[in-house]
Amino acid sequence: MKLELFIAFRYLIATRKRFLNLLLTGVSIAGIAVGVAALIITTSVMNGFQTDIKDKILSLSPHLVIYSGYNASLPEELLESKQFVASSDFIYGQTILKKGRASIGVVVKGIDSEKEKNVTSLENSLRKKDTSLLGDKKIFIGSELSKNLAISPDSNVVLISPTGDSLVPGIIPKMENYKVADIFESGMYEYDSNMVYIRIEDANDLFAGNAIRGKGIKIKDVFAADDAAEDLRNKLGPGFTVKSWNDMNKNLFSALKLEKFVMFLILTLIVIVATFNVISLLAVTTVEKIHSVGILKAIGAGPASITRIFLCLGSIIGILGSSLGMFFGLVICYLLQKYKFISLPADIYYINKLPVKIFVADVVVIMTVAFLVTLISSVYPAWKAGRIEPCEAIRYE
């Protein structure tokens, strides 16, 4: 095999008599390189989207959420398992937030500030990094919401609850004044523009007991959340709804996974198209080196040996193209990851910068696929070269 590999290298680096051969070699290598680089960049960006969105969701969402009915009491002994790290009660409700003459609908989450920091990373999202600032009639608002309504820390806002005090003629919405204690920024537009936090006691008063209640739970293994949720569903029975962070964002992550797979298939076509250049190159090389092939066969080289020479030539082109593509793909990913010079509309893509996450397994799969496609494309021209008769080959010289 060493002889065949040596001859294949000689065929590749030998001075070309015709410009067409040199052009085909460059185009073949460049085509594979572009396809591999595009695949690496695309999969890394899609991985970045999945990882970044997951991290941002988990920064403000518990691993598990248990929603209970108004009168349902959660058996605390079920949460004594070693897999559960911490838990915190919450109340969800919708209100109107009013600042001056401006108003907007928001989602209010009433929390226990001391327990919440053990379940989510809300503290890290706050500008002052202190959840204890959420005192009586105090509120945390998102950064996008503060921009939209020109709200700053220490500003006064009004929350208007549609489920207010009941009177004989009907229901009058309940209004409460709150002081902005701090502003949080999760990087998720939906959270930062629509979510506010108040004390759980204040939320209970604001909604007069007519709100969604539940408990957020943090577990040791975030990727075991689905199994833990299923186990809790079986134990709790009717009256409770248990959802994992994956259940609450299943459509989003399914769409990202499908998009990554489709993009991989589409961009693989670039590599496949590039392999047609490899076929053309090997065909032209066979014609150019037909005299050399004839001499090799005349001195004892068999069809299998000639076939291996051209397979080695195709493999070398595949390796060169894949290696160049990997190099440029990783360099571009590194630049995107470090300098983040591509901005995104946060209201559409949830995040404001193009994220990049390189997985070694994805790079290995891409390199392997590119090499195998190139090798397969080399089989037919290599087989044809091995079928050349010595006398016929020498006669053309």
What would the DSSP string read from start to end of 257-292?
Answer: HHHHHHHHHHHHHHHHHHHHHHHHHHHHHHHHTHHH
Name residues whose C-beta falls within 8 Å of residue 40's C-beta, 6 or more positions apart in sequence.
325, 326, 329, 330, 333, 358, 362, 363, 366
pLDDT of residue 73: 59
pLDDT of residue 334: 94
Structure tokens at 3: 């002889």
Distance CA 383, CA 109 (A): 70
Distance CA 115, CA 132 (A): 10
pLDDT of residue 332: 96
| Largest Cα span, the chain | 110
Distance CA 105, CA 103 (A): 7
Q: Are the CB atoms for 157 and 97 separated by under 8 Å?
A: yes
pLDDT of residue 289: 74
Structure tokens at 368: 């392997």
Mean pLDDT per 10-residue section of the chain, whose length is 397 residues: 79 64 82 91 90 84 82 65 86 91 92 91 92 93 92 93 60 86 88 93 86 89 90 83 89 83 84 82 76 75 85 90 95 91 73 85 92 89 80 59
